[in-house]
Amino acid sequence: MMESWYMSADVVDQTAENRLSPNQPVTPEQLKDLGIKSWSIPSEGYTYPAKAVPWNPDDIEDPALAALRKEEGYDYADIITCSEECLPDYHNKLKAFFQEHIHSDDEIRYILKGSGYFDVRDKEERWIRVQLSAGDLIVLPEGIYHRFTMDSNNFTHAMRLFKGEPVWTPINRPADDHESRKKYVDTFVS
């Protein structure tokens, strides 16, 4: 199960839990209220390639994942492994992932192995840390301010899903005038 909590203000080590003390948990309902959707689909027992290409998403053997992809229209899928060996331009990518940004589409990630954190802003701009581990599938809605980091285990093997032709471009904050941001604010904040 995914666990989430409000973050402490002073982040020294981005890979640490950075909880408030005492811990202030965030419920799945609170995440839903920010437009975040999630599912749990056990990933053990299935093998996936370590790298993005070449890989035909129709080769997915897990019927639960195949069904969800069909239902949600996630017709594109590839694989990303966050490790120095597998991810080209590793250090710069990790830096970019942790820069606060939005996208012009939903960001959909299914953790196959390892773990990591997505941080998202709540309606009052406070950071919520969402802990993901193998089997967690999360959808961050278009226009939500967020960032990603690995945790102290330093390994994330994930599937990236998308509807249609993928666009991964991050739009760094400030992006308040971006159409996707305005749409997000209209739908979930105001």
* CB of 124 vs Ni ion, minimal distance in Å: 21
Interface residue list for ligand KMT (CB under 6 A): 80, 82, 97, 107, 109, 116, 148, 156, 158, 160
Return the one option of ligand KMT, Ni ion, none that residue 128 interacts with (CB less than 5 to 8 A, by type): none
Strand boundaries in 103-162, DSSP class E: 107-121, 127-133, 136-140, 146-149, 156-162
Residue closer to Ni ion, measured from CB, 64 or 185: 185
Nearest CB to Ni ion, comparing residues 21 and 169? 169
Min dist. Cβ of residue 103 to ligand KMT (A): 8
**Which tokens is 187 given?**
């739908």
Decide: is 151 part of the binding site for Ni ion (CB under 5 A).
Answer: no
Residue 157 marked in a binding site = no
Task: Quote the least distance from Cβ 99 to Ni ion, whole Å.
Answer: 9
Q: Which residues contact 124 (CB under 8 A, 6 or more apart)?
A: none
* Cα separation values, 11 from 23, 24, 33, 131, 189, Å: 15, 16, 25, 16, 25
Beta carbon of residue 168, minimum distance to Ni ion (angstroms, whole number): 8
Give the integer Cα–Cα distance in Å for 101 and 174.
8
107 touches Ni ion by CB under 5 A = yes
Annotated ligand binding at 91? The verdict is no
Is the preceding peptide bond at 54 cis, omega within 30 degrees of 0?
yes
Residue found by looking up tokens 């400030």 in the block = 174
Annotated binding site for Fe(2+): 101, 103, 107, 146
Annotated binding site for Ni(2+): 101, 103, 107, 146
